[in-house]
Structures are given as C-alpha cells and as structure tokens.
Structure 1
C-alpha cells in the first residue's frame, strides 16, 4: 500500500460506508496527485500553534477556507474525513482539525450569528471523530449550529448529528451508523510465489493481525469486541445528539437511508433544497421575532445582542443537554463526560467574571481543563478587554473570498481583528479533534 492516507485505514476501526470503497480510494489518491500536495503536508503550519489562518495571497489559504455569508459561517465537511489533517481539500477530504478550528473561530467571531455544516461525506477515520462530535455538541450551546447534508454516511453522519438540526436534500443519503475493520490475508499468494515470512517477536500478541498469516479466531474475536465498543459509543453519541433512544439507533444496523426514510427515523429534521435551507437559516437568525416551531434555541440566540449571546444561549442549552444526556442512559461514560464538559463551558461563559473578558473566557472554556471555579477566579483577577487594533493578518483575512460560493468576508474585518489572536492561540487545545 503506497498511499499513506489510505494506509491509515488498515486494521483499525473505521467509520465509513463500505459501498463507497472505489470513490474512497480515488479521492485519497487524487489528493496526493495534487502538484503541491507534499509541500502542503510538510508545511510547518501543519501542527503549529499559531498562524493557522493564512493571508489571502498565500496559496495555502484555499485549503483552509473561512467563508461567512450573511452572518452564517459555512464549514465544509466533505469527502474522506481525516485525523491529524488540518486542511479542507475540496470534495476529496476534510480534516477533523480544520473543522474544529473553523468552528472555534466562528464561535468567537462577532460577525457570525450561526454555523452551517455543509456535509457531503461517506465517512472517514474513527480516530478523532468522536472528539470533534463532542466539541460541536458543546459549541451549539454558544451559537446555533445546523447541518445541511447531501450525503452523510458514518463519520459524516456523526459530525452532522452533533448539530442542533439537520436538513437533507430530497435525494440525500443518510446513516451507516456503524464501524468496520478489514484484514488482508496474503499468505496464500506468498505461498504460491514461493515466499515465507517468519516473525521473531517478544510478546504473544505482538504480531496479531499481520497480513502474512490468516487471522486467528482469537484475534478476530478481540477485533470484533473493539468494533463493538466503538459502535456502541457511536450509537450513544447519535442518541444523545438527536434526542432519540439508543435502541432505535442501534436497530438501524448501519443501514443507509434515503432522506424520506431518515426523516421517519428522526435521523434528520427536514427535507429541503440545501441552498434555500441555508438562506432560511440566515433569515431565522436575522429576525428576532421569528419563533418558528422547532427553532426555539435559535430564536432565543438571535434575539440577544452579540455581547451577551454566548451566556444566554449556553445556560439554557447546557441544562437541556444535561437532561438529554441522562435520558439516553446507555453509553454512560461518553454521555456523562460530555455533559460535564458542557456544564463547565456554560458555567465559564455565562459567569459574571466573563463579562468584558470574553476572549479569555473562551480560551479557558475551550482550550484548557480548568474547572469552572478556577476559571472564574482567574477571570476575576484579569483586566477587562479593550478594543484591539487590527493587525496585518486580520486585515488580510478580511479580504478572503471563495469563488465557488461567491462569499465575501469584508464585513468580518473588525471583529476578526479583535478575535483572530484568541482563535489562533486555541489551536493546540483542539488540534486532536
């Protein structure tokens, strides 16, 4: 296997629709055929803690888009979803780290009223997926987050499910809530070629699952248990995110559904043309009198001035999320941990000490493990923020345009200038998502 991206999926649990195998391999191969792919992968900013968002005239900026249209940040969730890949590579692949950073920046951006996840993915790596799902779920306590899906299978659906609502197109593909592992046995081919591999190893299980020998039943059983554990976590997260019973999620047996079937199963909230739905999302948040049924959380958030938006939304949403988490009840470890995290975030962001210190409060909430009490004590001792002067990077970012959607980010310059520094510093705390 000479594709390092494809090799990531060998012998480990993956969250991908197996029917998409041909496209999956083609997309990962297309990335490496890009003339500057290796330069991009070797970029010093791959794991950097600062300088994440490039200036508009930097060729790498097209691989880290930040597109705000009418107050809605549009975050692509497309192609193969990859761990430790902080890029958005068109429709071929998207990194969990990039998605997390884009959402983090959007939550801190005063010009962003809501976040739209534009989902067209048949899945990806298990590594990092559930961490990102929990971050998105916590983030919807701060600002409205909706998903708009043409195709949301496996890891793609996991990410979409973390949003407060999912809109799917009329011919969408939804589901594949399951886990898959593969083992390649080349022992017969090697025997036919007159080759034999002998392993010399310390530890009984050191060479378990190697491709030069058939997979023993004992090893297969352990792998199955590994898959089952990941699958139960997946079902528990979807149940929590969607507010449905975990048994109903498990009963899907990783089936792939049409939009209408997914709607009946409550895996999505509505079927509509995606462009129209994104526009409607913007209008909902622009109209403080909008109390359309099913959008209580979003209407509340839209009617609050930006300075108090995070605190107002967090208190109500965190309480509701805590109740949901206890109701689903099957994946206790995952859900209790997520509930505690949301409670901690809400307590920090809604505290009196956070007023006038929102940038520092965001840092404590999203990029540290500080308890709410410790964070509030630190905030109380910190000076209140003053307006920040635009720096060169912020000014450059304000000129970014995305020709594929016709978005113009000029209106974001002033708030970006004040908040870009906080967003940049937060990367180390979320890069493993």
Structure 2
C-alpha cells in the first residue's frame, strides 16, 4: 500500500515539532517542498549566511523524492525468515538505515526514508531466525523524527544480550540515526564518517510580514486560546515560543539519557557535547564510537566474530569493548592489532580442561555428600536402639566422617599392631626369666643339654597350679 502525505500532514511534521536531524537536512527538505508549500520567503542559516529558495531547491535537486512509502509493518514480520525481509550473508542480517528516519515507513529504506517500525521489525525477525547469528545496523542517515524514536530505542535496548549486534556508520550517523546506532553492542565509524549531533531542533515559519506586504490578511477562527499556536500567519508569541523550547528540551533530555545508558557515559557528558558532530578518532574520544574502521573491514570482522566456534556454541551478545578506543582494532588500511591487545579466544584444549576439572570437582563433592549421609544414618540407628553400644573408636570414626572401608582397615591395622606387641612382650619375658645352664639347673630328668623353652613352660604350669 502506498502512502501519500498531505500538505497539512507534511507541514505538521516539519514545523513547530522537535526533530532529531541535521540542520543541513532540514534545509534540503525545505528546498524540496518550497514552492508547493509556500515557503518562498523562508531563510535557513547554516553557515552564517541566508539561503534563498533557489539555493534550497538546488540543494534538494538530487534528494527530492516523492513523499510516499509502503504501508505499516505486518505484526507477523518477526515470524518471517530474515532473508525475505533483508539481505543476509554468512549468518549476518543487514538492517539498512538510509535517508531521513520517520516513525512509519515499512521494512527497509524506501523513497529516501527509513521507518523505525521497519528497523524494529527487521531486528525482531533476525533475532527469531535460527540461521542468523548476528545483526548489522548499516547506517548512513542524518536522523529525522523524534516521534516513535524512543519507543524503537527501548525495544532495541531490551533485546541486548541475545544475538550480537553491531552498528556500522558509513557516511553519517547523526541525531536520531545515532540513537539507533547506540543501541548496538558496539559501533564502528569510517575514518571520514560523522557521528553525534545529539540534540533536537525545531523550525517555525512566519509569513506575516510577507503577507502584509502583499496586502493579504489572514483571519484565524479558533475554539481555544492555544488552538492556533505556532501558525505561520502571525508573529510567534513569546509564550508559544517558550512552549516549543520546552518540548525541544524535554526531547533532548530523553535523548541524552538514552545515549548515556547505551554507551556507558553520564548524562552530563552527553549534554556537554552541545550537539557537536564528531569525525573518526574524535568520535572515539567522545565515547560515541568504539572503533574507526572501513566498511569492508567492519563487516569482515563482525562476520568472523559471530561465526567463530565459541560464538556458535556460546550464543548471546558480544561483550562491550569498554575501552572506547580504536587501538587494537582493524583499521581501514588493513593493519591488524598487536596480539597482546586482541581479545583472548577459548580453544578446544581449554574447554576440555575446564570440563575435566568440573567433573573431578563434582565427583569429589558427591563422595563427600555420600559419606556425610552414611554417617548421619548410622548415628540415627544407634540413637534409636538404646541397647546398642558404640566403641569409642567407632564413635570417633563416625564423627570424623570416615567411611566403613577406612574404619575396617584401621581396625585391622590396630589388631595386627596389638598382636605384634603381645608377641614381642612374650619373647622379652621368656628371654629374661628362662633358667641358664644345663641339667644341674635343678630340672629333674633333664638330659645333658638344657631345654630352656620346655623349662619355662613347666615353670609357668607349676606356677599356675600353685
């Protein structure tokens, strides 16, 4: 379904509303619609000089598009395979952001506009598609409407931690387009690319002087005191100007808060940038970009990262770089980072070692738990049987957590030691108490040689009878 915006609709979207867009883009839009919407006398100062309508039209000549777009995004878009909605290559879904950004424009850039609805639907489709392992926000846009922007950013931020998402800024990623880029896990920027312009702007056209000069008087009939606020046929009252300023500040504060949360900055830091636009390493230093990289390098690096073995098995988003530095990154000239600064990579050997360590720890924990349970069971049985007795040794073994096998071995060792001690004592006693000499020792019937063992035995027997 094609959508044609009416004159009233375009004026309502352009004037007296917060826009997150570059001033140069606003001038181009005015040039494209100048004659059709009676803004011949509107001058836009961008570099300190006034631009007439002819100059605006010249700026818009190569960018003028018919204001139409496809219909709203089907709510079932997330169920559609990603490669039917966008370009998918080597497991990476490319979500294009081109031209001015608007609330609704369907899937993909169309007629010079990209809709927030289409961006969100494309990302959701890629997240749901098992064949997609990473998402690349391919951005070249000066920004656009505030309406719908923050809702889209909230959805994109909420899905962080699922599939890795990188924002790649080609020429420019400013204002609203940068807000979308900041939702990614990391942002890369071409060395001559532009990023930032974090602020809002609004335009108001006052034709009252021109109309008076032409002898035209416009009378407005409104039902309320504020019904005609900001109309172009009367000078702008101060209270209405203040109201427009308040809207701009409110939108800007939300924008600052989003960038701060997404990029790990403070709101004060983002506000202090004063909507400045940065290029290359300046954007890295400002905390808005992670790496300065050429387009091809950025795409190649991202594809390699999401297709690495650890990425395939681990899942989840890429860890934020944190350092906000281009050091160690692949640059547009093809050079590679020093090995010491590159991210470590898990190997099969480290994974096997971790698995073995975990198995050993689990086995040890299980044995300990079994021993404890057995000790508690034996103690409970002994307590239930009042007639039973437990030796001090068994009680000590139960309290220490010794197993039955260990206790039996200890008993055997103790018994053997006790028997050995008894034999040794008997031998010592025999040596000291047996009579010395021959038959003259007083043992009747003895032969010429004395049998000391027999004599000792007989002596013991006699002693026992006595």
Bin for the TM-score computed over the shorter chain: 0.5 to 0.7
CA gap of 1:109–1:55, structure 2 versus 1, over 3 A, is closer
> When the two structures are superposed, what TM-score results if normalisation uses the length of structure 2?
0.56
* Kept after mapping to 2: 8 A contact 1:5/1:28: no
- 1:148 paired residue number: 168
| Rounded Cα–Cα distance in structure 2 between residues aligned with 1:5 and 1:82 | 12
CA gap of 1:267–1:49, structure 2 versus 1, over 3 A, is closer
CA gap of 1:208–1:90, structure 2 versus 1, over 3 A, is closer
CA gap of 1:217–1:128, structure 2 versus 1, over 3 A, is same
| Rounded Cα–Cα distance in structure 1 between residues aligned with 2:100 and 2:9 | 14
> When the two structures are superposed, what TM-score results if normalisation uses the length of structure 1?
0.61
Superposed, 1:30-49 pairs within 5 Å as 30-32=64-66, 37=68, 41=70, 45-46=71-72, 48-49=74-75
What is the aligned length? 287
How far apart are residue 260 of structure 1 and its match? 1.3
CA gap of 1:72–1:313, structure 2 versus 1, over 3 A, is closer
How far apart are residue 199 of structure 1 and its match? 1.8
Q: Which has the higher contact order (CA 8 A, sep 6+)?
A: 1
How far apart are residue 86 of structure 1 and its match? 1.1
Superposed, 1:9-48 pairs within 5 Å as 9-24=14-29, 25=32, 26=60, 30-32=64-66, 37=68, 41=70, 45-46=71-72, 48=74
How far apart are residue 279 of structure 1 and its match? 1.4
CA gap of 1:276–1:23, structure 2 versus 1, over 3 A, is farther
Among 217, 227, 231, the alignment partner of 1:196 is: 217
CA gap of 1:223–1:204, structure 2 versus 1, over 3 A, is same
**1:120 matches 2:120:** no
How far apart are residue 87 of structure 1 and its match? 3.9
- 1:209 paired residue number: 230
CA gap of 1:271–1:209, structure 2 versus 1, over 3 A, is same
How far apart are residue 303 of structure 1 and its match? 3.0
What SS does structure 1 have at the residue aligned with 2:205? coil
- 1:165 paired residue number: 186
| Rounded Cα–Cα distance in structure 2 between residues aligned with 1:54 and 1:6 | 36
How far apart are residue 256 of structure 1 and its match? 1.0
* Kept after mapping to 2: 8 A contact 1:78/1:92: yes
CA gap of 1:134–1:32, structure 2 versus 1, over 3 A, is same
| Rounded Cα–Cα distance in structure 1 between residues aligned with 2:101 and 2:150 | 12
How far apart are residue 53 of structure 1 and its match? 9.3
- 1:134 paired residue number: 154
* Kept after mapping to 2: 8 A contact 1:31/1:89: no
How far apart are residue 222 of structure 1 and its match? 1.1
- 1:89 paired residue number: 109
What SS does structure 2 have at the residue aligned with 1:76? strand
Moved more, 101-110 or 17-26: 17-26
How far apart are residue 120 of structure 1 and its match? 0.1
Rg larger in 1 or in 2? 2
* Kept after mapping to 2: 8 A contact 1:116/1:145: yes
How far apart are residue 179 of structure 1 and its match? 0.3
* Kept after mapping to 1: 8 A contact 2:28/2:63: no
List runs of 5+ in structure 1 lacking aligned partners: 290-298, 318-433
**1:265 matches 2:286:** yes
What SS does structure 2 have at the residue aligned with 1:78? strand
- 2:350 paired residue number: none
* Kept after mapping to 1: 8 A contact 2:97/2:109: no
CA gap of 1:3–1:209, structure 2 versus 1, over 3 A, is closer
* Kept after mapping to 2: 8 A contact 1:133/1:159: yes
- 1:337 paired residue number: none
| Rounded Cα–Cα distance in structure 2 between residues aligned with 1:2 and 1:14 | 18
* Kept after mapping to 1: 8 A contact 2:20/2:143: yes
CA gap of 1:17–1:53, structure 2 versus 1, over 3 A, is farther
- 1:303 paired residue number: 313
How far apart are residue 203 of structure 1 and its match? 1.6
Among 247, 256, 259, the alignment partner of 2:268 is: 247
How far apart are residue 92 of structure 1 and its match? 2.0
CA gap of 1:255–1:207, structure 2 versus 1, over 3 A, is same
CA gap of 1:124–1:89, structure 2 versus 1, over 3 A, is same
| Rounded Cα–Cα distance in structure 1 between residues aligned with 2:130 and 2:215 | 67
How far apart are residue 79 of structure 1 and its match? 0.7
How far apart are residue 8 of structure 1 and its match? 2.1
How far apart are residue 84 of structure 1 and its match? 1.9
